[in-house]
Structure 1
Amino acid sequence: MENEVSGEAKQSSSYRYWVRETTDAAAPPPVPRKLSADDLTKQQQPAPLGSVWNHAGTWEERNLNTWATSRIKDLLTSLDSLEFSGGKAGISEVTECSGDAFLVTVRNKKRVGYTYKISLKFKGEWLVKEENKAMKGFIDIHEFSFGELDDLQIEVRLNEEKDLLEDERLRILNDVRLFLPSIRNQLSKFEEELKDR
C-alpha cells in the first residue's frame, strides 16, 4: 500500500513543463484587423535621416567637398597673427585645400568623415642681423583625417633661406611651428560643424 501511495505522489508532483493546460477563463487570442488610413496617420513615425526616398535608412552618402573646402579656408585665413620674441607672422592665404568630406547614413545613423591636404602661405617679419627682414613661406599639412587632429603635423618651408645663418633659419622655422595649436583648434571647429551637418 505504501508503494501505491508513493507512486501516486510521484505521478501528481512530476514536473510537466511541456504540457499546456488551457482553461475556459483564458482570454481569447486577438483577432487581426486591417488598419485604416486614419489609423496610420495617428501613428508617429520617426523621421528618417537622409533622403525622403530612403525610409529604411540604408546606405546613403552625401558629398560635402564644396562646403568643407570653403569652410576650412575661412577658418584658417581667420587665424590671428602671432608675435614671437624676434618677430611676428600671419597666414595670408590658403594656397591648396584638397580632399574629400562626406556624410554617410547607414542603418539610420549619421557618420561623417574627411581626408584633406592643405598648404598655407604665411608672411612675417623677423629681426635678422640687427634689422627687420620680411619673410614668406608655406605651412604644409600633408594629410589629416577625421578624429586624428591630435597627431597633426606641419612642415614649414621658407622662400628666402639663402641669406640666413642656420641658427636664424631654425629660429624662424620654430617660430612658425607655433601656429600648430591655432590650426588644430580651427580644424576642431570644422569637425564639430561637420558633425552637425
Structure 2
Amino acid sequence: MENGAAVLEEKEAAAAAASSYRYWVREKGEDAAPLPVPKKLASHDLDNSTTTHLGSVWNRAGTWEEKNLNKWASERIKELITSVGSLEFSGGRAEITEVSKCVGDAFLVIVRNKKRVGYTYELSLSVKGEWLIGEEKKKVKGYLDIPEFSVGELNDLQFEVRLKEEKDLPRQDKLKVSQDLKLFLHPVREKLLQFEQELKDR
C-alpha cells in the first residue's frame, strides 16, 4: 500500500513539474551576447527591389517620417517676397524693403509612403514709398501685416496696413495710401503660391 502511495506521489509531482512555467535568469558576470550597436544604413545595405519609396533609406516601408523645414521655408519666404519690387500708383510708388516678421513652421510628413507638406506662418512686411500729398511729395513708411495663413488658404490672404507717419497725414490721404498699399496683395500672394509649390516639390 505504501509503494502504491509513493508511486502516486511521484506521478503527481511529475505532472506538476511538466505543467509549471520555468524560466532562467542569467546572473551578472555570466557571458552574455553584446548589445547591438546602431549603424547608419546605406542604399546598398538594402535589397534593391523595384518598388519606389519616399523618405529616408531607413524608412523603407514609408510608415511615418517628419522633417522640419523651418529654416528653408523662412529663408525662402523672405527671398521671394523681397523680390516683389516696387509698385507705381496714381499718386506715388512704394516697395517692400524687408520681411520684418516671419514666424511659423513648415514640415514634410511621409505617411504610408505618401508625402504631405504643411506650414503655418505669420508675416509683417516693411514698406516705404513716396506719395504726392497736397502740393508736395511725402515719404511714407509702414507695415503690411499678414495674419496666420497655411496650406490652401492663400486665396483668402488679407493685409492689415499700418502707417508710421499716420498722424502727419490728412485722413483722406491716409486712406488713399492704405488703399494703394493693398495693391501689394496680388504680387505677394503669387510669391507665396510659388513658395507653397516649391514646398510640395521638395
Which whole-Å CA distance do the structure 2 matches of 1:58 and 1:111 have between them? 13
Q: Which whole-Å deviations, capped at 9, do the CAs of 1:87-141 have from their partners, x for residues lacking one?
A: 0000011101110000000000000010001110000000001100000000010
CA-CA distance at 1:59 after TM superposition = 1.2
5+ residue gaps in structure 1? 1-39
> What pairs up with 1:135-154 in 2 under 5 angstroms?
135-154=140-159
Q: 2:138 aligns with which of 129, 133, 139?
A: 133
CA-CA distance at 1:184 after TM superposition = 0.3
Q: Under a length normalisation based on structure 1, what TM-score does the superposition of the two structures give?
A: 0.77
CA-CA distance at 1:52 after TM superposition = 0.8
Q: 1:80 aligns with which of 76, 81, 85?
A: 85
CA-CA distance at 1:80 after TM superposition = 1.8
Which whole-Å CA distance do the structure 1 matches of 2:55 and 2:66 have between them? 9
Identity %: 63
Q: Under a length normalisation based on structure 2, what TM-score does the superposition of the two structures give?
A: 0.75
CA-CA distance at 1:45 after TM superposition = 2.6
Which whole-Å CA distance do the structure 2 matches of 1:61 and 1:155 have between them? 33
Which whole-Å CA distance do the structure 1 matches of 2:168 and 2:192 have between them? 34
CA-CA distance at 1:164 after TM superposition = 1.3
The residue identity in structure 2 corresponding to 1:127 is: L
Residue in structure 1 matched with residue 67 of structure 2 by the alignment: 62
5+ residue gaps in structure 2? 1-45
Number of residue-to-residue matches in the alignment: 157
SS at the partner of 2:188? helix
Q: 1:91 aligns with which of 93, 96, 103?
A: 96
SS at the partner of 2:177? helix
Q: 1:101 aligns with which of 102, 106, 125?
A: 106
Which whole-Å CA distance do the structure 1 matches of 2:147 and 2:134 have between them? 33
What's the C-alpha RMSD, in Å, of the aligned pairs?
1.3
The residue identity in structure 2 corresponding to 1:117 is: E
Which whole-Å CA distance do the structure 2 matches of 1:164 and 1:95 have between them? 24
1:116 partnered with 2:121: yes
1:192 partnered with 2:197: yes
Which whole-Å CA distance do the structure 1 matches of 2:89 and 2:73 have between them? 31
The residue identity in structure 2 corresponding to 1:115 is: T
Q: Which runs of 4+ in 1 moved over 4 A?
A: none
CA-CA distance at 1:56 after TM superposition = 1.1
